[in-house]
Homo-oligomer: A and B are copies of this chain.
Amino acid sequence: MTEPLRLGIAGLGTVGAGVVKIVRQKAGLLEARGGRPIAISAVCARNRAKDRGVSLDCYDWEDDPVALAQRDDVDVFVELMGGSDGPAKAATEAALKAGKDVVSANKALLAHHGQALAQAAEASGAVLRFEAAVAGGIPVVKALTEGLAGNDIERVMGVMNGTCNYILTRMESAGLTYEQAFAEADGLGYLEADPNLDVGGIDAGHKLSLLASIAFGTQVAFDDVELEGIGRVSIEDIRQAADMGYKVKLLGVCQMSGRGLEQRMSPCLVPALSPLGQLEGGTNMVVIEGDQVGQIVLRGAGAGEGPTASAVLGDVLDIARGTRVSTFGQLSDKLVKAEPAKTSTPAPYYLRMSLLDKPGALAKVAAVLGEAGVSINRMRQRSHEQDTAPVLIVTHKTTRAALDEALCAMKGTGVVEGEPVALRIEQV
């Protein structure tokens, strides 16, 4: 095979420009590893005039990504535009329909339309790969789809939004408020144009839904992901958690249980000394638990030009080598529609609340928890000078339903001021 594998690259932001650079600078290496030369036929982006730090003169320019996707001289359509609909979707569909393989970094597109796109790929015999869509440079899609395919996967967990982890780490290490850390991340250019994609957990939720599909052989179901962002995490909770040996992380968890498919993206406490607890700054981590392999931890840069381009090239080289893996690891008609779990796997919870300084207040809270079947593992009430006393409780394993019942009943006690904070403690 000496025919080059010809790419059409749509989207020339940081990652797109990075891919072009690697293809130009590492031609020998890529050919040796892929078994054939990697070439670029044409590129496409919104602004042709922009300087991207790499010459594009030797590639055809297309204004329309759909036209790029359909070109006869394109074998692989590389989609780096982003967006769950619009041009990215139209061009990806056009490429697959035309039998072109697609390499995509577009988590939103896959999370919303993964099943239909997988079907479209199979219909024309194309493959659709998306390593770059999940956890940047970490080859986690490959690990889960291929390397660990002999396992029944029990749980996948991940810190998959570097911006959120940066904000939480800065809150802890520098004592910043959420607003201050957010502003700092914004100033560094870490936030998406719509920051809610990051801090609302949506971006990480997209990634989680893709991993869940591979792990459990289910159709991607992003709409079923329980989403809670980090906007309500306070410096107080981070400090108290640290004091008890935990870190607060925006943690994605998916697992299949008798209850159905659980997919959660929410702020959780994890043991400070666990690999997840030790993860600082913008780095990503994915933990995969299989019945045979036990726990596998993968850690690396979750974003940025080099890491994301590395993931794109990994997929491109697979295609060059002739590797043909189904989008989510099995034929799309084998993927079942998972029933979302109505309740989550029991876990301990961290609770923080302000109690009015009245005799018997703590007893009332304890009673309410007991009546709901939530038992207390640790409790702390600190000395205080205000009218309210800060109280921390770590429960034993409980269901979220029992906890919610207790939290609801607490309102009726008249001794709890404001809303108690409740954070799941994920056992890792």
- A residues near B, CB below 8 A? 18, 22, 26, 29-30, 32-35, 131, 137-139, 142-143, 146-152, 217, 273, 275, 278, 290-301, 304, 306-307, 309-314, 316-318, 321-326, 329-331, 334
Measured between beta carbons, the chain B residues less than 8 angstroms from A296 are 137-139, 298-300
Do A306 and B291 have beta carbons less than 8 Å apart?
yes
Do A301 and B306 have beta carbons less than 8 Å apart?
no
Give the residue among A146, A275, A313 with the most B Cβ atoms within 10 A: A146
Q: Whose C-beta in chain B lies nearest to the C-beta of A324?
A: B322
Min CB distance A280 to B, Å, is 10
Min CB distance A103 to B, Å, is 11
Q: Whose C-beta in chain B lies nearest to the C-beta of A323?
A: B323
Do B150 and A146 have beta carbons less than 8 Å apart?
no
Do A321 and B314 have beta carbons less than 8 Å apart?
no
Sample of 6 further A-B pairs with CB below 8 A, known A150-B313, A321-B324: A26-B150, A32-B334, A139-B148, A142-B142, A293-B306, A298-B299
**Which 9 A-B pairs have CB atoms at the shortest separation, nearest pair first?**
A150-B313, A139-B147, A137-B293, A292-B306, A293-B310, A297-B299, A296-B300, A292-B310, A149-B317
Measured between beta carbons, the chain B residues less than 8 angstroms from A147 are 131, 139, 142-143, 311, 314
Do B317 and A146 have beta carbons less than 8 Å apart?
yes
Separation of A137 and B297 alpha carbons in the complex (Å): 11
Measured between beta carbons, the chain B residues less than 8 angstroms from A324 are 321-323
Do B309 and A150 have beta carbons less than 8 Å apart?
yes
Known contacts A293-B301, A297-B300, A301-B293; decide if A310 and B151 are in contact (CB<8 Å).
Answer: yes
Measured between beta carbons, the chain B residues less than 8 angstroms from A323 are 146, 321-325
Q: Whose C-beta in chain B lies nearest to the C-beta of A309?
A: B292
Q: Whose C-beta in chain B lies nearest to the C-beta of A285?
A: B297
Jot down 29 A-B pairs with beta carbons below 8 A, ordered by A: A29-B217, A33-B149, A33-B329, A35-B326, A35-B331, A131-B147, A137-B290, A137-B292, A137-B294, A137-B296, A138-B296, A139-B142, A139-B147, A139-B148, A142-B147, A146-B318, A150-B312, A151-B313, A273-B278, A293-B300, A293-B311, A294-B304, A295-B300, A296-B299, A296-B300, A297-B297, A299-B299, A322-B324, A323-B325
Measured between beta carbons, the chain B residues less than 8 angstroms from A314 are 146-150
Separation of A307 and B289 alpha carbons in the complex (Å): 11
Do A34 and B310 have beta carbons less than 8 Å apart?
no
Measured between beta carbons, the chain B residues less than 8 angstroms from A35 are 326, 330-331
Measured between beta carbons, the chain B residues less than 8 angstroms from A293 are 137, 300-301, 306-307, 310-311
Do B150 and A22 have beta carbons less than 8 Å apart?
yes
The residue that A139 contacts in the complex, of B131, B146, B322, B334, with Cβ under 8 A, is B146
Separation of A310 and B22 alpha carbons in the complex (Å): 33
Separation of A18 and B313 alpha carbons in the complex (Å): 35
Do A290 and B318 have beta carbons less than 8 Å apart?
no
Measured between beta carbons, the chain B residues less than 8 angstroms from A298 are 296-299
